[in-house]
Amino acid sequence: MTALAALPRGDRPFSLDSLEVEMAVSMSLALAGELCVAFDRIRRLEDAVARLEGGEAEAFRAREADPKEAAERQAEAEAMMARVLRLVLDARPAKPRPSLPTSAPAAT
């Protein structure tokens, strides 16, 4: 990516009111693209496993987990959601960023 990122030239016109929001939107879109890559890889793996088992991929995907497996997967999903919501769960008072002083510094 570093070599690729060195090639483009020119400015990047923004559309939204906030530069920060537009950058976050772009990163979210890129993540959606990477999610598609991951889904595609999972799908290929599912198809490969189904072929190895001599069955249909649809049947492989539809296989129900036993209760122990289901509980483990639910716990893993909750742990991931907790990681995603870390900033909300670990709530702290917001500290303002540095800004221009409202009065001139005192003479020394």
Q: Which residues contact 65 (CB under 8 A, 6 or more apart)?
A: 73
- If one asks whether residue 40 binds another protein (CB under 8 A), the answer comes out as yes
Residue span binding another protein (CB under 8 A) among the ranges 38-46, 49-57, 71-79, 98-106: 38-46
Q: Please pick, from the candidates 22, 50, 57, 60, the single residue that binds another protein as defined by CB under 8 A.
A: 22
- If one asks whether residue 94 binds another protein (CB under 8 A), the answer comes out as no
Residues written for the chain: 108
Using CA atoms in the order 20, 22, 23, 26, what is the torsion angle rounded to 10 degrees? 160
Please tell me the distance from the alpha carbon of residue 76 to that of residue 105, in angstroms, as a whole number: 54
Binding residues for another protein, per CB under 8 A? 1, 3-4, 7-10, 12-17, 22, 25-26, 29-30, 32-34, 36-37, 40-41, 44
